[in-house]
């Protein structure tokens, strides 16, 4: 059942991503595809931060592992992270904010591992969710952090204390610092 469902989702996603006004494109999903043609259980996604948010200039990659009992069990989503010394940082480049960001500064994302804390990816998962709707939910999480269930306590504490400007400034700093220009 997993492969049949994943093939159906892949067909739908492929049709949607070529349309500029599709719900995926409008919600910041730039890429959503299997890592290789022969394996439907490893996917990658590329997302853009929501317009009007402190994440607006960032682009991030997600790695998605689909379990064999999908859609009964949820896939595992994580942001692809990289260390500063392994990256070609270009924070002084005028195009840097349009490259790929190597860290996700968010209260519900582990800054080191990229693990995401989002209820629909865990205890609230149902087979009604798809890979595409899950990725859209992750994009929406960027603009609606939940500081009461943090994986990044420092950012969560800024929100809990009501320091929205401090939060926004710190997020923008990390996006600039950990963005690489892509050719």
Cα 124 to Cα 24, 58, 84, 117, 174: the distances in Å are: 22, 28, 35, 12, 30
Element (H, E) at 160: helix 153-160
Which residue in the block uniquely carries the two structure tokens 């960032």?
Answer: 58
Partners of 89 in the β-ladder: 180
Which residue in the block uniquely carries the two structure tokens 């469902």?
Answer: 5
Q: Is 101 a catalytic residue?
A: no
DSSP 39-57: EEEEEEEEEEPPTTSTTTT
Give residue 102's Cα distance to chain centre: 11
136, two tokens: 């859209």
Dihedral of alpha carbons 80, 17, 138, 172, sign: positive
Indicate which residue of 117, 159, 180, 181 is catalytic. 117
Give residue 45's Cα distance to chain centre: 7
Could you list the active site residues? 117
């Amino acid at each position: 059942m997993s492969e049949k469902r994943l093939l159906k989702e892949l067909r739908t996603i492929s049709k949607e991503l070529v349309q500029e006004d599709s719900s995926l494109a409008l919600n910041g999903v730039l890429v959503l595809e299997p890592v290789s043609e022969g394996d439907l259980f490893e996917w990658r996604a590329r997302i853009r931060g929501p317009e009007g948010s402190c994440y607006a200039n960032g682009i991030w990659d997600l790695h998605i592992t689909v379990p064999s009992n999908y859609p009964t069990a949820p896939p595992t989503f994580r942001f692809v992270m990289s260390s500063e010394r392994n990256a070609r940082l270009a924070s002084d480049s005028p195009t840097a904010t349009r490259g790929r960001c190597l860290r996700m500064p968010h209260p519900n994302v582990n800054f080191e591992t990229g693990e995401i804390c989002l209820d629909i990816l865990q205890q609230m998962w149902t087979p009604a969710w798809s890979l595409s709707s899950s990725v859209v939910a992750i994009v929406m999480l960027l603009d609606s952090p939940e500081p009461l269930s943090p994986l990044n306590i420092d950012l969560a504490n800024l929100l809990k204390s009501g320091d929205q400007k401090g939060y926004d400034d710190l997020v923008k700093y990390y996006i600039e610092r950990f963005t690489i220009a892509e050719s």
